[in-house]
Structure 1
Amino acid sequence: MGTLGYSLDGLHNVQLAIPPGAEETCREFWRDVLGMTELEKPPVLATRGGCWFRGGGLEVHLGVEEDFRPNRKAHPGILVTSLQVLAKRMEDNGVSVTWDDDFPGHDRFYTFDKLGNRLEFLEPTAVADVA
């Protein structure tokens, strides 16, 4: 646990804002394009709207914000295996991707969900062993 007496043990979820009534649009992207599984929200939270998804050890909560404005800069960085395959799946589903090679040791691209929230997908590149 270290000298602080506690440890940070990972990320439980990422929450992104959505406008009221946008749940089906979220399903089209997070479930249908990315292939994540929709979770049933606890009843006390379900009354607030929004939806939750899980896949690959990642949980994304999409919460209703009355004065919604998409995140154009702030974003989750999601690790991916077979990044090229994901990029092609997105493009085949009408989602554009923008490749960026400015992050050493990773291949990555940026995209936006169907509501305009920025997302980063990245995959570590193989590093040659130095003898």
Structure 2
Amino acid sequence: MPRFHHANLGVPPDAADAEAEFLVGVLGYRRLEPPPAALGRGARWFEADDGTQVHLSLDPDHVPAAKAHTAIEVGADCAAIEARLSAAGIPFTAGDFDGRRIVICRDPAGNGWELRG
């Protein structure tokens, strides 16, 4: 059975630091040191407690997708993440869907996220 390992998101170079702060400060990922070959390409890696990762690739021509998004399960942390989104000034919508809390937002690079409580 396949197991999810990582999502690779494009970010404009001038949004890379804000994107890292979103992943660490808002969503709770921790930074990982990419292997030397990836560092040479400007890669930035982040990991969740379950071992799944988000990799960032610097892309000066980055255009966020209109509908595509990354969905993650945040469980009981959903309310705390909503508070951190508000504190960071990141707009979001939230509501209940199919018995769970769903938060929709865009990260500093414009990539879509679905945060599932």
TM class, shorter-chain normalised? 0.7 to 0.9
Q: Which residue of 1 aligns with 2:35?
A: 42
Q: Deviations over 1:22-50 (max 9, x none)?
A: 32122221122223211111101111113
Q: Which has the higher strand share?
A: 2
Within a 5 Å distance, the mapping from 1:86-97 to structure 2 comes to 86-97=81-92
Amino acid at match of 1:116: G
Taking the aligned partners of 1:67 and 1:93, their CA distance within structure 2 comes to 25
Taking the aligned partners of 2:89 and 2:98, their CA distance within structure 1 comes to 28
Quote the sequence identity (%). Answer: 33
| Among 4, 7, 16, the residue aligned to 2:9 | 16
Aligned partner of residue 85 in structure 2, secondary structure: helix
Q: CA deviation at 1:71?
A: 2.5
Q: Which has the higher contact order (CA 8 A, sep 6+)?
A: 2
The unaligned stretches of length 5 or more in structure 1 are 1-6, 124-131
Q: Which residue of 2 aligns with 1:110?
A: 104
Q: Could you list the runs of 4 or more consecutive aligned residues of structure 1 that deviate by over 3 angstroms after TM superposition?
A: none
Q: Do the aligned residues in 2 keep the contact of 1:97 with 1:109 (CA within 8 Å)? A: yes
Q: Structure 1-normalised TM-score?
A: 0.78
| Aligned residues between the structures | 115
State which structure, 1 or 2, has the greater radius of gyration over its C-alpha atoms: 1
Superposed CA RMSD in Å reads: 1.6
Q: Which residue of 1 aligns with 2:94?
A: 99
Within a 5 Å distance, the mapping from 1:63-78 to structure 2 comes to 63-78=57-72
Aligned partner of residue 82 in structure 2, secondary structure: helix
The unaligned stretches of length 5 or more in structure 2 are none
